[in-house]
Amino acid sequence: MTEGNSTTENAEERLRSFFAQHMQVAVALSGGVDSTLLMRTAQQAGAQVRAYFVQTPLQPAFEATDARMAAESSGVELTVIPLDVLAVPEVAINGAERCYHCKRALLDAIVRKAQQDGYSLVVDGTNASDDANGRPGMRALQELGVRSPLRESGITKAQVRELARNAELPTWNKPSYACLATRIPCGEPLTNAALRAAEQAEDALHALGFSDFRVRRFHDCARLQLREEQWSLLMRERAAVREALLPFYDEVLLDLEVRDDER
């Protein structure tokens, strides 16, 4: 057994120990690999588990589909909570604290519904690689008493993927995904129209064969952030890309310097 494998196994054992001590949990399910692994581990540990997904204008349709598939494959009941988060003024204005106010609204909706269903403990998929300083939403977790077992168990993102792959979870290699609000420049108000444009633009590029990318609004233009290895695909499909995106944007631009912290 390698040292790396031993460390992962020890972290997984700590995670199972968490659920051995908390046998009734509500999981804030996003449809991503972190919360899916958390839900599956809780279920396999024998805990009574219920999953909650908050449907807002900031989530694309595929996230709800992925959440439903993840819950179904784990045999866990899923509750979908509709929430018009754009009705929260601090979210709609898209200021520097948007992420905090959005996370607070989503988690508050889950905590309230979970309590109505008899679940006093809500857990989420924050892991040990998530930087608390770069994620203002973590403050909302603390304020609402939501626990993060992956983070508490010292499980990193790489270990999450390793454990998810070993468990044959369908989301094990799903790219990390930031909500649609990140496609709109900070300070520019969020609207349903702008969010739907971003979603439809990214759906169109995905259909053309692109993966792990972003389409960001920049002065009514689409600013494409692609992995460098996909630039050749963009050149081959540039006519189709323009045809797909110009209904939503005035022009299509390629960002030549993609920063990881923007993804």
| b/e code 101-115 from CB counts within 10 Å (16+ = b) | bbbbbbbbbbbebbe
Query: Which pLDDT tens digit goes with each residue over 159-217?
Result: 999 999 998 888 888 877 789 999 999 999 999 999 999 999 999 999 999 998 999 99
Please give the Cα distance from 222 to 251 (Å, whole number). 6
pLDDT of 130 above 50: yes
Query: CATH code at 227?
Result: 3.30.70
pTM: 0.89
| b/e code 206-239 from CB counts within 10 Å (16+ = b) | eeeebeebbbbbeeeebbbbbeeebeebbeebee
- Which alpha helices (H) appear in 28-97, and where do they start and end? 33-44, 61-74, 89-92
Q: Are residues 20 and 96 in the same domain?
A: yes
Contacts of residue 230, defined as CB under 8 A and 6 or more positions apart, other chains included, come to: 210, 211, 213
Q: How far is CA 260 from CA 8, 159, 176, 200, 209, in A?
A: 25, 20, 11, 23, 21
Q: Are residues 47 and 157 in the same domain?
A: yes
Residue at token pair 């807002």? 56
**154 strand-pairing partners:** none
If you write DSSP's letter for every residue of 224-241 in order, what string do you get? EE--GGGHHHHHHTHHHH
Q: What's the structural domain count of the chain?
A: 2
Query: Which pLDDT tens digit goes with each residue over 71-104?
Result: 998 899 999 999 999 999 999 999 999 999 999 9
Q: Are residues 152 and 53 in the same domain?
A: yes
Give the count of beta carbons closer than 10 Å to the beta carbon of residue 92. Answer: 18
Query: CATH code at 67?
Result: 3.40.50.620
Domain containing residue 133: 3-166
